[in-house]
């Protein structure tokens, strides 16, 4: 829950690096810990303020191409960040939740109307297991791409990047985090969503 932005042991950090390499021009892929929601919000607002005058115009908001993804508490914070952007009239292309665990006072099951598309990956086992279902606050404005149940009973996922007690007591929660299938699908979705976009702002919360 408190992952450093340069901690390459974590797939979320690796995925941000992949996005920077995949989209070398006009891409801003940043990593924030789940408790850095306000910092992430300020970062997105600053990136959207293309003329640097401190005020977002309607055009600057409309041209935003924001994608937010996260795991565990970071997935919960993903929904909160998207909601806060919505309050400021900023659209979000896509949210990606991976084994979302609701933080106290947060509601990670309902996707705000400013989000065009949302997807949820979860697994049902272990001490920590993610939310199984997300829904759109306004189905006419938000497309739920799916709630995908991932299982690891007969599939081994390498979690050697974590300490032994994490692998023993909370393994399924981190198996989904390290599952290449999740990140391959996320990459494919982002390619699809951004195929016609020229400027990308991607934020990740862990």
Asked if the structure places residue 1 within a domain, the reply is no
Tokens, residue 206: 């862990």
pLDDT at residue number 199: 43
For the chain, the domain total comes to: 1
Residues 136 and 139: their CA atoms lie apart, in Å, by: 5
pLDDT at residue number 15: 95
pLDDT at residue number 165: 66
pLDDT at residue number 1: 53
Q: What are the average pLDDT values for consecutive 10-residue runs of the chain, which has 206 residues?
A: 71 93 86 92 93 89 91 94 96 96 89 98 85 96 97 81 69 89 96 68 56
What sections of 9-123 are H helices per DSSP?
11-22, 37-48, 58-62, 73-87
Query: What is the span of the domain harbouring residue 117?
Result: 11-205
Three-state SS for 38?
helix
Asked if the structure places residue 3 within a domain, the reply is no
Asked if the structure places residue 2 within a domain, the reply is no
pLDDT at residue number 105: 83
CA distances from 184 to 28, 54, 94, 200 (A): 20, 37, 15, 19
Three-state SS for 199?
coil
Provide the phi-psi class of 15: left if phi over 0, else alpha when psi is between -120 and 50, else beta: alpha
């Amino acid at each position: 829950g408190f992952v450093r932005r340069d901690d390459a042991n974590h797939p979320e950090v690796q995925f941000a690096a992949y996005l920077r390499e995949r989209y070398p021009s006009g891409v801003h892929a940043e990593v924030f810990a789940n408790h850095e929601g306000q910092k992430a919000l300020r970062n997105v607002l600053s990136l959207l303020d293309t003329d640097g005058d401190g005020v977002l115009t309607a055009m600057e908001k409309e041209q935003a191409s924001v994608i937010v993804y996260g795991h565990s508490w970071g997935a919960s914070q993903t929904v909160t960040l998207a909601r806060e952007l919505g309050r400021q009239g900023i659209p979000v292309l896509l949210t990606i939740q991976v084994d979302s665990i609701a933080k106290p006072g947060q509601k990670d099951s309902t996707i705000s109307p400013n989000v065009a598309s949302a997807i949820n990956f979860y697994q049902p086992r272990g001490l920590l297991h993610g939310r199984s279902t997300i829904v759109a606050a306004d189905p006419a404005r938000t497309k739920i791409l799916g709630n995908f149940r991932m299982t690891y009973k007969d599939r081994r996922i390498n979690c050697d990047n974590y300490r032994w007690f994490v692998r023993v007591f909370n393994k399924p929660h981190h198996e989904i985090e390290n599952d290449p299938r999740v990140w391959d699908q996320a990459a494919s979705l982002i390619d699809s969503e951004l195929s016609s976009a020229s400027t990308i702002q991607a934020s990740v919360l862990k």
